A and B are shown apart, each in its own frame.
Chain A
Amino acid sequence: MSVRHAILALLSEGPKYGLQLRQEFEARTGEVWPLNVGQVYTTLQRLERDGLVESGEADGRPHEGAQKGYRITAPGRRELVDWLTKPLDDPQPPRDELLIKVLIAVQVPGVEVHDVIQVHRRHLVETMQRYTAVKASASELDVALALVVDAELYRIEGAVRWLDTAEVRLRQHTLHIPEIADETPALLAKRANSVVAAGQRSARRRAVQR
């Protein structure tokens, strides 16, 4: 989350005071990301140092007591547009603990992988229920809140769908992992990690070749 660019975006609408920036930032992110005043002023100082904003009179008015007004500069506008339109970095696949747990569950004697999958699915759906309750209790017109909650719901739903798919794959096919004589948890985890890493390298290499 770039507070720096969020502040530039708010200032692109017109000059504003620091406290006003904090209030508008929170209102527009559905009040889900609290921002302290210190963060706002530190960010503004850096933006001013970099020539992206300038302080002084805000809204054509002189300073109001201790409050300083800020306005965006032309380089600030360019920086904002560049950030908005720059594609996200091609992310390295994250180290996914859920994936590791499922891979290990396949190997551990006495553990039923489908039970492990269901425990995680239930937990994720319960979390989704709580997020949906946030949305359900708010007005359909609270778009900022809906966008924030949707982002989290889709992220969690992705994990649920992966579990659903994993369950079907593991019913249809057996996962072949080379046997190791000494089945200590550390070795199992190491082996699962190496399976994940190899899979990610392979998937990434093929994606780049396409």
Chain B
Amino acid sequence: MSVLRMVQVSKVYGGGAAAVHALRDVNLLVEAGELVAVMGPSGSGKSSMLTIAGTLEDATSGEVTVDGAAIGSMSAKDRARLRRRSIGFVFQDFNLLSGLTAAENVAMPLELDGMNARQARAAAHAALERLGVLERAAHFPDDLSGGERQRVAIARAIVGERKLLLADEPTGALDSVNSESVMRLLREACTAGAAGVVVTHEAQLASWADRVVFIRDGHLVDQTSRPAGPEALLVAGTP
């Protein structure tokens, strides 16, 4: 069963002559363990795909299911619960709360979901350790480097065994080596069983995905086939 299923999804902002068609009949299935990159220029509709998949806004038409649950018929309360338990978000500008420490930021979605503070803190520390920033657990976001902040944001996205990871230009203004670390971590989270969708306009970042889908003017126009395997590149005379 696909963790994310989008069928004939369209999104229109506004109405009449001023209507903007952000998505047009988009179909996308993402399986557990799979990382999919959505690649397209600014204004192509890729961020709308992510916010609809993440239940942050509604599709105008079509069907979206996350982890088997159809979100179109859900109450706002159920959607919020789904977001807390099953969906992890990584944003371009990190979106960490500056008044909370790294550990408190990571523990917050679990505490909001009713987990007691001690358990949530333990889970947060485990996630921070997995991302190599446990020693920064007690620091506030302003005291962290850009790379550390993004690792904390990823820890928050994967804490509590989320089923679906959604990342919008997740490397932001990070340098290329830190960007690669972010993609490596998202890749590892998917290998561990999550389904992941990352939207980006950068081919280097997209190339970390199992599959790259190309979006233009709200349409998914093309996708890569599954790579033949890296060993094919390593022959005499290449590159």
B and A form one assembly = yes
Residue A78 lies at the interface, judged by CB distance under 8 Å to chain B: no
Residue A168 lies at the interface, judged by CB distance under 8 Å to chain B: yes
Residue B230 lies at the interface, judged by CB distance under 8 Å to chain A: yes
Q: How large is the interface on A (under 10, 10 to 19, 20 to 34, 35 or more residues)?
A: 20 to 34
A86 CB to closest chain B CB, in angstroms?
23
B140 CB to closest chain A CB, in angstroms?
28
Select B184's contact among A130, A140, A156, beta carbons within 8 Å. Answer: A140
- Taking a contact as CB atoms under 8 Å apart, the answer to whether A153 and B207 are in contact is yes
B229 CB to closest chain A CB, in angstroms?
7
- Taking a contact as CB atoms under 8 Å apart, the answer to whether A126 and B224 are in contact is yes
- Taking a contact as CB atoms under 8 Å apart, the answer to whether A130 and B239 are in contact is no
B114 CB to closest chain A CB, in angstroms?
37
- Taking a contact as CB atoms under 8 Å apart, the answer to whether A157 and B204 are in contact is yes
A3 CB to closest chain B CB, in angstroms?
14
What is the total number of residues of chain B having a CB less than 8 Å from a CB of chain A?
A: 32
- Taking a contact as CB atoms under 8 Å apart, the answer to whether B221 and A118 are in contact is yes
* Interface stretch of the complex, out of B77-85, B102-110, B161-169, B208-216: B208-216
Main secondary structure of the interface of A (DSSP, over half): helix
A60, B229: Cα distance in complex, Å: 46
Residue of A at shortest CB range from B201?
Answer: A164
- Taking a contact as CB atoms under 8 Å apart, the answer to whether B203 and A130 are in contact is no
Residue B68 lies at the interface, judged by CB distance under 8 Å to chain A: no
- Taking a contact as CB atoms under 8 Å apart, the answer to whether B187 and A128 are in contact is no
Residue A41 lies at the interface, judged by CB distance under 8 Å to chain B: no
Report which residue of B180, B201, B204, B208 has the largest number of chain A beta carbons within 10 angstroms of its beta carbon: B204
A49, B92: Cα distance in complex, Å: 58
- Taking a contact as CB atoms under 8 Å apart, the answer to whether A118 and B214 are in contact is yes
Residue A124 lies at the interface, judged by CB distance under 8 Å to chain B: yes
A131, B203: Cα distance in complex, Å: 12
Query: B-side interface residues toward A, CB under 8 Å?
Result: 39, 41, 180-181, 184, 187, 201-204, 206-209, 212, 214, 216, 221-225, 227-230, 232-234, 236, 238-239
Query: A-side interface residues toward B, CB under 8 Å?
Result: 31-32, 34, 114, 118, 121-122, 124-126, 128-137, 140, 148, 151-157, 160-161, 164, 167-168
- In addition to A32-B239, A125-B207, A134-B233, 9 A-B residue pairs with Cβ atoms within 8 Å of each other are A125-B39, A125-B212, A128-B203, A128-B204, A128-B207, A131-B207, A157-B202, A157-B204, A164-B41
